Structure 1
Amino acid sequence: MTAVPTPAARTRIVEAFADAGVTGQLYAADIDSGTRIAVGGDADVSTASVHKVCLVATLYREAAAGRIDLRRQTEIPAGARSAGPTGLGVMRDAARLSLRDLASLAVAVSDNAAADLLWDAVGRDTVNRTMGELGLRRTVAVQTMRELYASMAEDAGAGGAAALVDPAAVSRLRVLDPARTNRSTPREMAALLAAIWRDEVCEGARGAEGEEGEEYGAELRALLGLQAWSHRLASGFPFDDVRVSGKTGTLPTLRHEVGVVEYPDGGRYAVAVFTRAASTAVTLPAADAAIGRAARIAVDALRASALRA
């Protein structure tokens, strides 16, 4: 792959992070040419809900191989669901959903309860094996969402969720340490997205119902386009004819997003941005916006590089 030969773009990305009061890592690549730009692209990062991309990619790869049926129904009793501010976690009645509808919730609104039902169905070892098969050996799942939140509750102590704006409490959180939680690197998350968009995740497979692997790949890409949040990556591309598919990740001081930006001229770019704020405040619009700003600088640099080539 060819690196972008303009250090000015990298400088602007670092400045965008600094202006927002965050430190950040970014990796962006032209999916078709391989031209890329990176700022700390090989740093280990705590992935938070970004790891749901690994989960749903594995689900669809397993379905394409005929080992799991996406239409399989899951009974979801009322109560006893994984914590979270969206989706099944805030619903009060029993439900029944297919695996692929659970995947839609896990991506569209980052539903932790839906994601954990998928973790139960697919298995953490299967997700890690799949990442290894795709060459992503630094992308490792250590915890389900319920385990991640249980770890946070334990580390926060008696103060509970209210303590998570206390810098001392935040410093105790194992989920912020890539060595002790779900982890990856910006380069590997961008590589996973590029593989999905190049039809390499479900390549050559045929599912239990006879669908070709590329049909599963198309459904997986459509799934990743369902995300409801537009305040991070998509904020850098406010155009009706530019499509942004992505997945956010959020923990105390951490704000991330990985996604694919597709232009009407056929250009498509895999982007992974991970940030950590100096402030422990829950609401930091500038930090969210910095993700879109940094991504836009990176994609503009990739597009300019293609024109110079």
Structure 2
Amino acid sequence: MTDALARIHAAFADAGVTGWLHAVGIDSGAQLDVGADRPVCTASVHKLCLLVTLHEHAAAGRLDLTEQVECPPAGRTAGPTGLAAMLDTVRMSLRDLALLMMTVSDNAAADLLLRRVGLDAVNATTARLGLTRTLAVHSFGEMLATVREDAGPGGARALADPHVITRLRALDPARTNRSTPRDMTRLLGAVWRDEACTPEHGAAVRRILGLQVWPHRLASGFPFDDVHVAGKTGSLPTLRNEVGVVEYPDGGRYAVAVFTRTAHTAATLPAADAVIGTAARIAVDALRAEELRTR
């Protein structure tokens, strides 16, 4: 494990990021820790907590996932994907809103679901699952509003200024939605072991996570047709995150959470995206080697 830790630190340094990681064998319990208890800003990774809450409520009969919601253009949460980018009124079921929320990280869909279940319910779910360092303090629209407010009159262009970046509340784990890498792998393990919801709803959550469209972070480390990666990304200025589960054809299942931050303010940094997959691959390879050694 020592060699793997050194290689992960070197990969983060080469990519120009500070990184925090936790990886764990879902069945074996073998784990690898790189600042796994460090508080981190979750950004859109927190949509996983909302998804689990939604299915927990459905399993308890508090809502019907086929319930239809109408979403007019006015008042939608901003974002570049899904409903947030659409121009016309849309009518959609709760479960299809969840699909958009997770597969393309649709902020408007997420806030419609959050309005349906409530912020307190999301925090109750994470508390029930023992995620003691995980807390949602605002909706995704409210989080983006703090970025606009903190950026000031310069708007989006001001986010290229490192001095502006330092004052963004959305980048301070004490003032925004937050968790730790270890809490996120604990949540993923609970989902994969059907401890977070009933087996029926756990399967639905896993299916949606497996349909995420972004291949440039976690999945980039596992370019094999017989290895399945399911995950959720999260992004804010200077932040790039992903949490997910890597499943091998021999039955090995590994929950991985990688959170990164860089001093560079550019919106496009391929090396910073790719190192999430690189670090995850190093970690999972080390876990698989450890499992083989202890059999």
Cα contact 2:162–2:263 (8 A) shared by 1: no
In structure 2, the partner of 1:237 is 222
Is it true that 1:120 corresponds to 2:139 in the alignment? no
> What letter matches 2:267 in structure 1?
V
Aligned equivalent of 2:275, options 290, 302, 309 = 290
Q: What's the CA shift string for 1:177-200, capped at 9, x where partnerless?
A: 000000000000010000000000
In structure 2, the partner of 1:255 is 240
Structure 1 outlier segments of 4+, above 6 Å: none
Relative to the length of structure 2, the TM-score reads 0.99
Is it true that 1:192 corresponds to 2:177 in the alignment? no
> What letter matches 1:114 in structure 2?
A
Deviation (angstroms), 1:214: 1.0
Deviation (angstroms), 1:278: 1.6
Is it true that 1:47 corresponds to 2:42 in the alignment? yes
Gaps of 5+ in 1: 1-5, 203-212
Is it true that 1:269 corresponds to 2:264 in the alignment? no
Is it true that 1:156 corresponds to 2:151 in the alignment? yes
Task: Return the alpha-carbon distance in structure 1 between the equivalents of residues 183 and 61 of structure 2.
Answer: 26
Is it true that 1:25 corresponds to 2:16 in the alignment? no
Deviation (angstroms), 1:79: 2.7
How many residues align? The count is: 294
In structure 2, the partner of 1:130 is 125
Q: What's the CA shift string for 1:44-63, capped at 9, x where partnerless?
A: 00000000000001101111
> What letter matches 1:239 in structure 2?
F
Deviation (angstroms), 1:78: 2.3
> What letter matches 1:251 in structure 2?
L
- Which SS does the other structure have where 2:232 is aligned? strand
In structure 1, the partner of 2:82 is 87
Q: What's the CA shift string for 1:83-127, capped at 9, x where partnerless?
A: 101111110110111111000000000000000001100100000
Gaps of 5+ in 2: none
Cα contact 1:79–1:92 (8 A) shared by 2: no
Deviation (angstroms), 1:151: 0.5
Q: What's the CA shift string for 1:123-170, capped at 9, x where partnerless?
A: 000000110000001110011011001100000000001111110111
In structure 2, the partner of 1:210 is none
Aligned equivalent of 1:107, options 102, 105, 117 = 102
Q: CA RMSD in A?
A: 0.6
In structure 2, the partner of 1:219 is 204
Task: Return the alpha-carbon distance in structure 2 between the equivalents of residues 288 and 72 of structure 1.
Answer: 36
Task: Return the alpha-carbon distance in structure 2 between the equivalents of residues 60 and 33 of structure 1.
Answer: 26
Is it true that 1:60 corresponds to 2:45 in the alignment? no
